[in-house]
Structure 1
C-alpha cells in the first residue's frame, strides 16, 4: 500500500428490508468484514427493528428482538465494526405508511412513499422511531436519517396550498422537514450526528442551502453507484456543499443491489469501476473532505420490489471493493489476495469454485445461486423452444388440444423428467442452505421468484404430455425425485424421420 487509505471510515451497508440475515449468520460474516477492511456498519433496519408501543405494528414477522439487536451490536464490537443505524424519516416510508393507522400521514394519499411534512403527527412519528432506535444504540456517534428519493414531495394538497404562498418553494419544504428531524436528533440525543443522503440537495441553489442552517446540523452522504461516475462533477459538488457550510462529507458506493431490481449475481467488474471512480474523487477533491465511505448493498430497491442479490452472493464483490479501497486500486496482487481470503478459485461468477472448507460463510449459496441464475432458465428454454420434438410435435396448439403421436412422448418426456429431477434436487439443496442464513419468508420468496417459474414450466409440460397420451405416461405421485414416472414407448416411427426440404420435393 502506497499510503493510508483514502477513506478513514469504511462502512458496510446491511439492508434489512429484504432477506434479513439471521443473527447466527451475521456472527460469521462480521469477522470477515473486518478482515476485508471494513471498520463500520450502516444498519438499515426498516421493519426488522423491534419497535414497541404504538409502533409495534411496524415489525416484520421475524423482526429482531431487543436481545438480538444487542447481540448484533456486541458481535460488531468484537469485530471492531462501529455501528451506524439508519432510520427513514421522509422518503422510502412505505413500511410505515402502508399501514392504515399511519396512512393519513402520506404526502399523497394514494402513495405510501413519502411523509407529509405539514402534519404535526409526522414529526412525532419519526421522532418516536428515532428515540426507540437510539435507545438500543446507546454508543452511536451517527444516525442516518435517510431523506433520499422523496418522491411526490409538494404534490399533496397541504403542500400545494403552502407552495402557493411567497416565497415558499419545494426546496424550502424539503429543507424545513430535514431541519426538524435533525433538530430532534441533536436536542434529544446530544453527541449523535445526523447523516443525510445528498440527492434531494444536489440541485438546490447554493444561497438557499447555505441560508437554511441545515449544513450546521447534518453531515451529507454523496451517493453514486454508477461505473462511469463523473469524477469532475462530483468534485464540483463537494466544493459546492463545502461552500454552503457542510463541514464533513461522506461518499457512498455500491457492492451490490445497484444494477437491476431483480439482479441475482452482482457484476464485480462494474462495482470495482464504481470504487475506482470514488478513489479518484477522493484524490482530486478538497483535502480530507471525505471522512468515510458507505459501501451500499441494497437488498430491495424499495419495500415493495423483489429481492436483488443476496448478501452471501455479494461477498466476493464486497471483498474486492473493500480491498481496492484499502490498496488504492485492484491490481493482480490484490485480486489474488481476495481470492485467497475467500477461498475461491476466481472472482468471475462463471468460474468461481470453492476451494473447500476454508471458503467464506455462505459460499455454498453463491455456488447454488450461480447454477440457478446461469443455467436453469436456459436449460428449460432449450427444451421448450429448441427441442425439435417439442416444437414440431407438441406445440402450444397440441398441448391445448391434448394431441400427440404416442411414439413422440419418449423423445420429450425422459429429458423433461431428467431436467426436473436435477433442478428439483438443486432447489432442495439451495433451500437447506438458505435456511441456515435467512428466515422462512425470504427463503420462500427467493425460490418462488427464481426457481419456481422454470420448474413449473417443466411440470406443466409433463402434465400435458401425460394427459395427451391418455394419462399413462407419467404419474406425479410416484416419482421419488420429481413426482412422476414414465413408461418407454416404441421406437421412432418412420413418419417421424426428418423429411427432405420442401425445395427438393
Structure 2
C-alpha cells in the first residue's frame, strides 16, 4: 500500500487531553484512517486513562473505562491500526502535578509541568503509571514515554544544589531520568521499546549521547511542525543520532493543533507543506534507519490551555497529509482521491460551510464550526459597530445612560432579534452535533470559548434596548 512512501509506519496521534471523542465516534473514523493510509495510532491518554488505586485522582470526570479502552484496541485491530500508548513521564506532567497530593514532586514548586528527577518517589510514580497503562495494552511493541519540553529542568532547589557539584550538567540530569524510565519499561515489559520526543536531546553533544545508555534503550521521535522546517538541518540531526548509536528513528509532523493555541479551523496548506518537507528529509537519510512518522493532532498546547481544532475539523487536513505521505506528494490525482474519500468537492476552508462539506464522520461538525468561525463574530460586529442606527443613535454613550429615540428601537430591535434567532438555531444544531461525538464538558468549553461571547454581545444590546425603551420618569429629558 505504501509503495512510494519512505515511512513504513504512519501513526495518527490522538491527543485526548482535550475534547476526547466518544468511543462510538472512534468506531466510525478508524476505518477512514486506515483507508487514507494510516497503519497505527499514537494514543496520548493523559487524564482519560482509567488509572486505579492511588493514581485514581488522575482520572478526568469522563475518563474511559477499562472496557472502553479494550473496545478502542479491538476497533484498532479490526482496522489494522497498531496502537502505541503515550504516557508523559518528565515534562507536560500538569495533569499529575496539579494535584495537591503530588505537588511535592514538582521540579519547581510553583509550576506543575515538570517532575523532580531527584525524588525516588518521582520514578515510582511514573513507573506505576506506565505499568497500569501497559496492563491494558499487552503486547504493545512500543510505548511512548514523552519527555518533551521539560521546562525549568535544573531550576528546582534540589537540582541547583546538584548542578553545583562538578561536573554535573542539565544534560546529564535529563539523560539520567530518561534512562531510569526507559530501563523500567525494558525490565518490566521486555517486548516493548520506549519512544521519546527528541527536543531535549537535540543540543546534547553526540559523544555524550553515545556515552549514555539511552541509545540502547529508546527510539527518538524527531518532531517539527513548521511549514518551513530546515530539511538539511533535520538530516544532519538524524545523522548525529545514528552516529550516537540510535538504531531506529521516527519523524513527527502535524495535521492539526500546531498553528495557534486557540485555532478553530485547520490551515491545510501549512500542514501539507510540513509533510512535503518531511518527505524531503526522509529522502536524504538511509531508509533502514527510519521507522515511521507520527502525524500529531494536538488538542491543547498543554493541560491548561484552551482547545484548538476539534478532531472532525482536522479530518480533511489529516486526509491530505496521509495521502501525501503515502504517495510521495500531493499531485492532482492525490487531491482527487482525498476529495473522493471525504465526499467533498473542495478543500478550501470557505467551502466547508456549504451543504457539500463532506460525508465523512463528523463532517456536519466541520460545516457548522466553519460557519460559526467565519461568520458569527463578523455578523455581530456588522450590527454593533457598523450599523448606522446603532452607531448613530445607540452608541456606548447612549447605552450606558439607557437613552434612545423611540423610533430607533423599531430600526434596531428587529434586526438584532432576527440575528440572534438565526445564530441560536445554528448553535443549537452545532451543540447537538458536538454532543454526539464529545462529552458535555468539551462541548461546554468549545461553545463558551467560540460562540457565547458573540451571542452575549447581542443579548446585551437587546437588554440595553429594552431598558432604554421602557418608560422612565425623566424620559423627556435629552441624553
Q: Separation in 1 of the partners of 2:104 and 2:315?
A: 40
- How big is each residue's C-alpha offset from its partner over 1:30-52, in whole Å with a ceiling of 9 and x where there is no partner? 01100000000000000000000
> Match of 2:403?
403
> Counterparts of 1:286-435 in structure 2 under 5 Å?
286-352=286-352, 359-435=359-435
> Match of 1:15?
15
1:284 alignment partner, SS class: coil
Report how many residues are paired.
Answer: 472
Query: CA RMSD of the aligned region, Å?
Result: 1.4
2:114 alignment partner, SS class: coil
1:350 alignment partner, SS class: helix
Query: Cα 1:261–1:377, aligned 2, differ >3 Å: closer, same or farther?
Result: same
2:69 alignment partner, SS class: helix
> Match of 1:104?
104
Determine if contact 2:50/2:65 at 8 Å carries over to the other structure.
yes
- How big is each residue's C-alpha offset from its partner over 1:244-299, in whole Å with a ceiling of 9 and x where there is no partner? 11110000000000000000010001100000000000011233322100000000
Deviation at 1:353, TM superposition (A): 6.1
Q: Separation in 2 of the partners of 1:241 and 1:212?
A: 12
Determine if contact 1:343/1:355 at 8 Å carries over to the other structure.
no
Determine if contact 2:4/2:328 at 8 Å carries over to the other structure.
no
> Match of 1:133?
133
1:70 alignment partner, SS class: helix
Q: Separation in 2 of the partners of 1:456 and 1:2?
A: 50
- How big is each residue's C-alpha offset from its partner over 1:322-356, in whole Å with a ceiling of 9 and x where there is no partner? 00001100011111110011001111111136777
1:71 alignment partner, SS class: helix
> Counterparts of 1:227-246 in structure 2 under 5 Å?
227-246=227-246
> Match of 2:216?
216
Query: Cα 1:356–1:370, aligned 2, differ >3 Å: closer, same or farther?
Result: closer
Q: Separation in 2 of the partners of 1:174 and 1:400?
A: 58
Q: Separation in 2 of the partners of 1:325 and 1:398?
A: 58
Determine if contact 2:353/2:368 at 8 Å carries over to the other structure.
no
Query: Cα 1:5–1:176, aligned 2, differ >3 Å: closer, same or farther?
Result: same
Q: Separation in 2 of the partners of 1:358 and 1:386?
A: 34
Deviation at 1:208, TM superposition (A): 1.1
Deviation at 1:390, TM superposition (A): 1.2
Query: Cα 1:107–1:357, aligned 2, differ >3 Å: closer, same or farther?
Result: closer
Deviation at 1:403, TM superposition (A): 1.0
Deviation at 1:4, TM superposition (A): 3.2
Deviation at 1:209, TM superposition (A): 1.2
Deviation at 1:127, TM superposition (A): 0.1
Q: Separation in 2 of the partners of 1:128 and 1:446?
A: 33
1:175 alignment partner, SS class: helix
> Match of 1:193?
193
1:142 and 2:142 matched:
yes
The structure having more radius of gyration, on CA atoms, is 1
Structure 2: gaps of 5 or more residues: 473-479
Structure 1: gaps of 5 or more residues: 473-505
Determine if contact 2:30/2:76 at 8 Å carries over to the other structure.
yes
1:439 and 2:443 matched:
no
Q: TM-score, normalization: structure 1?
A: 0.92
Q: TM-score, normalization: structure 2?
A: 0.97
> Match of 1:469?
469
> Match of 2:42?
42
- How big is each residue's C-alpha offset from its partner over 1:53-107, in whole Å with a ceiling of 9 and x where there is no partner? 0000100000000000000000000000000000000000000000011000000
1:448 and 2:448 matched:
yes
Determine if contact 1:226/1:274 at 8 Å carries over to the other structure.
yes
> Match of 1:498?
none
